[in-house]
Amino acid sequence: MPVVDYKKYCEMLDNAKKNKFAYPAINVTSEATANACLEAFAELKSDGIIQVSTGGGEFASGSMLKDAALGAISIAQHVHLVAEKYDINVALHTDHCQPKKVDSFLKPLIEESRKRVAAGLKPLFNSHMFDGSELPLKENMDIAVELLKECKELGIILEVEAGVVGGEEDGVSNENAPAEKLYTTPEDMVEVYNRLSSVEGGRYMFAATFGNVHGVYKPGNVKLKPVILKEGQAAVVAKYGEASSFDLVFHGGSGSTLEEIRETLDYGVVKMNVDTDTQYAFTRPIVEHMFKNYDGVLKIDGEVGNKKMYDPRGYLKKAQEGMKERVKQAVRDLRGEGTTLGR
């Protein structure tokens, strides 16, 4: 099926919230990693979200250009083309964009979507994330409100964050963030709703933080407090009514137990970002291939090696298969198997 339009994306999010499951949002950096996602979603009959970070976009554009927006456009265009051949729905999203990258990343992508919409096409991306969590909440929301106005005009959903996800991702480090910053307060959640709801008709998702940490950790090492989401949702609903309940996003899930993950689904999480674990799942088969076939991938002692062993297609197929299986695990963990909305 084609990449979804605004109406179908809203139906996806509403369906997840109503039935207490979430979509894995998988970070990709290439055609191969995007294909792994599509195959996983299709095999489990689950809709899903494919997303590109600024670092992923830079990589996709090539090391000479390092143009995050250009690389993101390239990946999105590939997904638009190949998604037509699958029988599930997929949405395209951009991950963490800090304030200093809005002009070089988000704005060009919004402009690209504006051109497409003017030509009668769907936006290039279905949603974008503005991560203003490094700013005081007022400044964060000031920027978010203006971005939401632009996104609303084009049928794009905006994701925002208040509070800090610890650890390091894409070269952005919050490893020394104050402990209190790792937990979004009910007061902050009320204020986020108050500000964003001022954009009539605008739709948004909210990455509230509850001890999340980017990176890779053993289960138990990350001290999550999912109840923070429950308390924050309750505060918003108490003041503004049931319809104000957020579509929440879970960042920094590596090291979380299945019990913790599923608890968040009961509190309104409809999207969970997955990156570190799928990076490993993609890399592990390549390592195995190289160790087992070192004398074939290397031209040693004057020999010519074995072309079948060093042809990138061979080991990248294995890598794609490894990543696909990890994406399928994410779908199952989030109770998404068999939940596609179809056409």
Predicted pLDDT of residue 166? 46
312 is written with which tokens?
């990138």
d(C-alpha 167, C-alpha 251), whole Å? 11
d(C-alpha 9, C-alpha 210), whole Å? 26
- Where do the domains of the chain lie? 6-286+321-333
What would you report as the CA-atom Rg of the chain, rounded to the nearest whole angstrom?
A: 20
Predicted pLDDT of residue 164? 58
SS3 45: coil
Homologous superfamily in CATH for domain 6-286+321-333 = Aldolase class I (3.20.20.70)
For the chain (length 343 residues), average pLDDT per consecutive 10? 96 98 98 98 98 98 98 98 97 97 98 98 98 94 98 98 61 48 88 98 95 58 81 97 97 83 97 96 98 94 92 98 98 98 85
d(C-alpha 3, C-alpha 15), whole Å? 17
Predicted pLDDT of residue 180? 56
Predicted pLDDT of residue 53? 98
Neighbours of 3 (CB within 10 A): 23
d(C-alpha 193, C-alpha 195), whole Å? 5
Neighbours of 33 (CB within 10 A): 24
Does residue 95 carry a catalytic annotation? yes
pTM of the model: 0.93
Catalytic residue among 47, 67, 95, 131: 95
Predicted pLDDT of residue 177? 47
